[in-house]
Chain A
Amino acid sequence: MIPAKLVSVVLGGQLLGIDVAQVQDVIRLGAVSPVPLAPRWIAGVMNLRGRIVTAIDLRARFGLSPRQDRAGSMCVVVEHQGEPYGLIVDDVGDVIDVDPEQIEPNPPTLDRRWQQVSDGIVKLDVLMVLASVRAIMDADLAAAA
């Protein structure tokens, strides 16, 4: 299913789009308690107004180098299988409308790790990666990456 509206976020200079229907909240990243022994791309757990949200280090998940300082990062809270997860990104932009015509499959040259978590490329003025929340959360996929 192709989403009609995307929240645009920036990660390591690359524009990503996340389906608005899955987004619950956008917040400034607060305190995150690390969870030792968890996969490296799980940043930890945080308190979102009394709910415990698992924070995902999207840079690590996409195989990018970690940011020196997480301060100033943003967090997009999505719901996946009934549980809230916070995707940590560098910045959050506008909500944009997408026409299915604008979406093309991943180019074969795209890094394997990105292939996994991208549902396609949106042709805007700049190119945007259509992020697949389902694939991002798939621990087996992540472990295989």
Chain B
Amino acid sequence: MDELLGDFLTETAENLQTVDNEIVLFERDPGNRDVLNNIFRLVHTIKGTCGFLNLPRLERLAHAAETVLGKVRDGQAAVSPAVVSETLAAIDGIKVILAALETSGKEPAGDDEAQIARLNAAIAILETPKVELVPEPVIAAEPDAGAGRGIQSIRVSVALLEQLMTTVSELVLTRNELLQHLRTLKDDRLAVPLQRLSAQVGELQESVMRTRMQPISNAWSALPRLVRSLSVELGKPIELDMQGGETELDRQLLELIKDPLAHMVRNAADHGIETTEQRKAAGKDARGRIVLKAAQEGGHIVITLADDGSGIDVARLKAKAVALRLVTETDAAQLSALQAQRLVFHPGLSTAEQVTSVSGRGVGMDVVRANIEKIGGAIDIESTAGKGTQFTIRIPLTLAILPALIVASGGQRFAVPQMAVVELVRVGANSEHVVEYVNNAAVMRLRGRLLPLIHLGTLLGIGNGRGGGDYVLIARAGNISFGLIVDNIFDTEEVVVKPVAPILKTLSVYSGNAILGDGAVIMILDANGIAASLGIAGESDASDALETPVREVAQETDAMLLFRAGSPHPKAVPLSLVARLEEFDAAAVEWSEGRPVVQYRDALVPLLAVDGALTPRVEGRQPALIFDDGAAIVALMVDEVLDIVDTHVDICMTSDLPARIGTAVIAGRATEILDVAHYLSRAGSAGSIVAEDKGGRRVLIVDDSAFFRNMLKPLLASAGYRAMTAASADEALALRETGEHFDLILSDIEMPGLSGVDFARAVRGDDRWRETPLVALSSLAGEEHVRQGEAAGFDQYVAKFDRSRLLDAVARQLSGEAA
């Protein structure tokens, strides 16, 4: 393309952006001559240059716009919405022609006579009465930004900046090489200047990095125009207030938040702000207000978008969510206002009753949220009925630089983003942690739980199988944690992330690549991709803390150990209840009182069969699951361990067999869930087998997890209690209304809707259950939690998985002893 034409296009694109905003400003303040002069001058420049470059179609349209603006300027016409609308339409026409020019280098065919006629008509209406421009002096006319400041910036092409960045990167590498040589040479004459060079290169690198930053107002520039046209289209006067536009953000991110922001502004104008009549009726200013703010907070940019509209109608949103089967009616009733508001981020939920041309076209806040999460950000909502809605977006300052941990496997280095790394653990001979194997699946015990492990080398096909691997890097992907076994862990390094070549895009285990300080290229591992490739990811890829409760409920998963024993049908127990997996030599099986036993950790442990008929193998090795509740240890014989699956356990069928909780579908197959408590009760001498008669004391179990309810009920039953269950605090409180009475209540803490702590307050706040002992079941038993729970009225805290302590606590509370 002609260089002159190229320059013209760049300059005009910028000018037009300014014109858009100036016209909106002008409409609001028609007396402001400065603004009008600016607009006139810009359009005039476009027209003039067109003539020079021989672009007749563009020139004609610009000329028509200039004429209209000229008449307004000279007071021959007044500013009316029609004039502004048509001028903006003409500018749109100019943009279309410019876009064609940019791609083809020629003006597109056609003419703009219709637009020109409309432009002339817009002023014609007003020419007859000849309205004078309001002569009133403008009070404190907004000073023209930048006027009198002289030139503070120049235009540089992005390509040049990128090139500069590349050169600086190379310079850094060269410096590193020099420093390396210096270390071997030990020449003092070089040391000092090299030190200085090193510092200067560092500074240069930082400055060049900063050139990628741009004020966020660049992403906002189209918004005033958008609000103005929405205002006209919807017939609601709306004001857009933008603050903090100077906040700087990476150029790449800027592009990525543009569309989500425009979408949200559109939503606010359409759904958020009420009609003028409604506003007046509510005693509000007829003019709606949208406030957009940006500020830097640490390594993040926080953007808030607030409207002063009607707020979100929580009841209607809930009704819609129920209608769409996103939540059940009971769950919906339990949602707090804030949790319910977050439903707007669900696909298919848009609060407007009617689909308008402005929004409600099927692109919802779910897409906005997805886009923001894609760039490592988060979004939340806060709405007050009648007052308005505020969205808060947090995004990282830059996508480009990522702190990463460098690890090695199979002789190669890989980078893992620090964000995904939870913990590093050393394994092996001199460590308390060891890698154990279930069939071929590696696991590790960490703070009482089994953590699935993956050999990075095996995963990538570069390792030598089982051997090696001294370190476990515990990574989090969404709400799933897993350990990556690696050979070595090096330093952390800040790397500049570059996308992988399209040809490698199909490899989901990588999220990008980068050049290390020593010049080598390194692949960046993607924890989510690794989890997904292994099929251990949850039902959603969500990794944020802003999950709506609906998804939390849907995602509640338990790690289940699948195995075969006695029959070809798979059986399962919760992995958390399995203390160990052992293989006993068939020769080591002894018999005592007609029952098989093995020696295990200096004790005789009964070898139990899932069902009575199974006898231990007579040769080879006998695999077994070890259950240990602190008091009793049993070994349950299995034929084969199949897998560990993280899944949502939904008991479809309860069972009459004593050792079964019921049947659930796991990994697509009907799987019998065994009752571990049943087997533990068969341990040791006959004395503990028969449950004592506890006089049928009544215990209520409140837990949202069907799995735990089903687990605890038989446990308590086998200990001689009469147990009842409730799936939520509300359900439990409903039992109170029906006049039920219990001797003790066991309640979960983390529940959707009313939490365990709130539940305790409700129990203590009413005479009927005030004296009933309350025991909290929690996986979060931090001191702070315990204090909070006790303040709310809990008598004792017990960890969810600790069977013996649980029974002990129940017994103590019932006998009136303090814990």
Contacts and interface: CB of A to CB of B under 8 A. Distances in A.
Say whether A and B bind each other.
yes
Interface of A: 31, 33-38, 42, 44-47, 49-52, 54, 81, 83, 85, 137, 139
Contacts of A37: 460-461, 507, 509
5 contacts: A33-B412, A36-B460, A38-B507, A42-B504, A139-B506
Interface residues of B, number: 30
Interface of B: 165-167, 169-170, 173, 410, 412-413, 460-462, 498, 500-504, 506-507, 509-510, 513-515, 519-523
A6 to B, nearest CB: 23
Nearest to A36: B460
Contacts of B165: 50
A81 B513 CA distance: 19
Contacts of B521: 33, 44-47, 52
Contact of A33 (B503, B506, B522): B522
Given A37-B509, A45-B513, A54 B501 contact: yes
A72 B509 CA distance: 32
A83 B501 contact: yes
A47 B502 contact: no
User: 8 closest pairs, A vs B, by CB?
Assistant: A36-B460, A50-B166, A54-B501, A50-B169, A45-B521, A33-B521, A36-B462, A50-B170
Contacts, number: 67
Contacts of A33: 412-413, 520-523
Given A37-B460, A51-B166, A139-B503, 17 more contacts: A33-B413, A35-B523, A36-B460, A36-B462, A36-B523, A38-B507, A42-B504, A45-B501, A47-B519, A47-B520, A49-B170, A50-B165, A50-B167, A52-B501, A52-B514, A81-B502, A83-B501
B412 A34 contact: yes
Contacts of B519: 31, 47
A34 B521 CA distance: 9
Nearest to B171: A50
Contacts of A85: 501, 503
A97 to B, nearest CB: 29
Contacts of B170: 49-50
B503 A50 contact: no
A91 B520 CA distance: 24
B454 to A, nearest CB: 13
Contacts of B413: 33
A33 B410 CA distance: 12
Nearest to B510: A35
Nearest to B172: A50
B503 A54 contact: yes
A34 B515 CA distance: 14
A38 B460 CA distance: 9
Contact of A36 (B173, B412, B498): B412
A50 B174 CA distance: 11
Contacts of B498: 52
Contacts of B500: 45
Nearest to A54: B501
A76 B169 CA distance: 23
A85 B523 CA distance: 16
Nearest to A32: B521
Contacts of B461: 36-37
B515 A47 contact: yes
A38 B504 contact: yes
Contacts of B167: 50
Contacts of A81: 502
A70 to B, nearest CB: 16
Contacts of A51: 166
Given A36-B460, A54-B503, A83-B502, A45 B523 contact: yes
A36 B173 CA distance: 26
A118 B460 CA distance: 32
Contacts of A34: 412, 462
Contacts of A49: 166, 170
A35 B502 contact: no
